[in-house]
Homo-oligomer: A and B are copies of this chain.
Amino acid sequence: MSFSLGKLFRVTVFGESHGVGVGVVVDGCPAGLNLSESDIQVELDRRRPKNPEISTPRTEPDRVRILSGVFNGFTTGAPITMVVFNEDVKSDYYELIRYRPRPGHADYVAYVKYGGFNDFRGGGIFSGRVTVAMVAAGAIALKLLSRFGIKIVAHTVNINGIEARNYDLSDINSLEEVVERSPIGCADPKASEEMLGLVKKVGEVGDSVGGIAEVVISNLPPGIGEPFFDTLDGDLAKAFFSIPGVKGVEFGVGFKAASMLGSQYNDSFSLANGRVVTKTNNSGGIQGGLSNGMPVVCRVVFRPPSSIRIPQRTVDLIKYEEVELSLSGRYDPCILPRALPVLRSAAALVLVDHLIISHVMPRVLR
């Protein structure tokens, strides 16, 4: 257990893939933010499968309901609770995997950790469905950030080696527009088309594919992050690792830094429009664990989704023997398009918490 994230802006998620629903309590939201269910719904809709050719056929309306914390159209300072009830649930099939864990999935570790009491249907709490709760909470965080002019865009930069190369980080608003137009969330139109074709093909043969997303945060003031342990990069990374499928996080040039010299890597300081800036942004906007005022840029790798139709080898935990596992049904062959709003949300949750701790964002908005 540890379904809470954050110190002063603290979200607690709950729910299971095939249970009654999923939801979240947001504790510590500043009072005075105008907020309605439609503000939340917009973000949830972004997370829903857009393209039937590359997505699970589970179609949930994902209607959010606010249970507490909003009064007369404004946040009150009290915990905001939101619930999305599950509707399109078909669980019978999951008896199959109860004792035959899917390779790559959390079925096995959940069985061990919870002594077999875990809700295995659809992966239970380990399902991507729990990210609905993150997105609902993230919608509030994003709205708070927009009050401070802070913007977050997540986009797909690599699927199975197809790289987005042709895009521009300098104008975050136009970046966002381009990304929204791509069914796969890729800012490079040519790469987007290639990616889409590949994902379809992979899906057709019952396989899946991984990818890399980039998260860009603009207009964050310098000095955000709490040394020594609650660094901004560390807290972002931790939040990202809670998203199912994430296997790596890097900031700025990331792993490429291994092959660079200090004289190449160091971002020289200079002045622009009366502000201290850096000429390059190899460090991805973070130094010593704190934002430096430049855009925060990080990349997150997703493993290929573990649920595939291609037969696989696993173990029967009762009979204690190796068996073959064949999953029927259709799954997301690539999670990137639907993971992008989750990444934005995760980043937004971390940022709001840090801004409140840093006293940049007040506890009551006016």
Contact = CB atoms under 8 A, between A and B. Distances in A.
Contact of A288 (B109, B229, B308, B322): B109
Interface in A111-137: 112-115, 117-119, 121, 124-126, 130
A260 to B, nearest CB: 6
Interface stretch (A174-182, A289-297, A337-345): A289-297
B248 A248 contact: yes
A158 B229 contact: no
Nearest to A121: B71
A349 to B, nearest CB: 10
A119 to B, nearest CB: 4
A183 interface: no
A284 B247 CA distance: 9
* A10, A103, A233, A262: residue with the most chain B Cβ atoms closer than 10 Å: A262
Contact of A258 (B21, B76, B158): B158
A246 to B, nearest CB: 8
A269 B103 contact: yes
A258 B302 contact: yes
Nearest to A252: B247
Interface stretch (A40-48, A49-57, A184-192, A207-215): A207-215
B229 A3 contact: yes
Nearest to A33: B117
A307 B121 CA distance: 49
Contact of A257 (B8, B81, B283, B304): B304
Interface in A217-244: 222-223, 225-231, 233-235, 237-242, 244
B79 A257 contact: no
A125 B320 CA distance: 50
Interface stretch (A143-151, A165-173, A357-365): A357-365
A278 to B, nearest CB: 7
B263 A303 contact: no
B303 A283 contact: yes
Contacts of A66: 20
A229 B364 contact: no
A362 B363 contact: no
Contacts of A315: 269-271, 276
Contact of A67 (B19, B77, B269): B19
A265 to B, nearest CB: 5
A105 interface: yes
A266 B306 contact: yes
B317 A276 contact: yes
A247 B238 contact: no
Nearest to A28: B1
Contacts of A358: 113, 363
Contacts of A108: 222, 269, 276, 287, 292
A308 B266 contact: yes
A134 B176 CA distance: 41
A303 B105 CA distance: 33
Listed from nearest, the 10 A-B pairs whose CB atoms lie closest are A106-B288, A248-B250, A234-B241, A208-B262, A113-B223, A104-B266, A2-B230, A262-B304, A2-B226, A103-B266
Given A112-B293, A248-B251, 7 more contacts: A1-B227, A20-B68, A202-B261, A208-B261, A234-B237, A255-B301, A265-B303
